[in-house]
Amino acid sequence: MRLDERVALSNHTWDEVTGNGFGSRHDPAGDWLYGYELCVDRAVRGTRLGRRLYEERCALAERLDLTGIGLGERMPGYARAKRRKSNRAKTPEEYLGLVIDSKIHDPVLRF
């Protein structure tokens, strides 16, 4: 979906920026490509399909001469990590740090 830079780079929730997941915030004149959902079936994970889709997203942004790409991803393991006694993440930032440090695995963020 294309968005104006003010929208793409502002503080927002996933629901706000995607129009509750419907892409209704798409602006055909927007200068940023915003990727808010990319799913790969578990049966074909490991085949680099997700990587190829991401590379095509980059190529599309270049072909359209856009300023950049913004991404909004969900953190499916965050709620569970908040409840754990070990490797407990109290904030989304702490959770992201644990994923980056490979202390916990989140398939969406690791991609």
pLDDT at 31 over 80: yes
Return the percentage of the chain with pLDDT > 90, whole number: 41
Check: pTM over 0.75? Answer yes or no. no
Q: Which two tokens stand for residue 104?
A: 């916990």
Residues belonging to the chain: 111
Q: Which two tokens stand for residue 99?
A: 């994923």
Give 32-68 pLDDT, tens digit per residue. 999 887 778 889 988 989 889 989 999 999 999 999 9
The Cα 98–Cα 83 span in angstroms is 14
What residue ranges do the domains of the chain occupy?
Answer: 1-72, 76-111
Closest by Cα among 69, 92, 73, 72 to 82: 92
Q: Which two tokens stand for residue 72?
A: 């909004």
Predicted confidence at residue 87, as pLDDT, reads 64
Specify burial of residue 84 (Cβ count, 10 A radius: 0-12, 13-18, 19+): exposed
Predicted confidence at residue 26, as pLDDT, reads 95
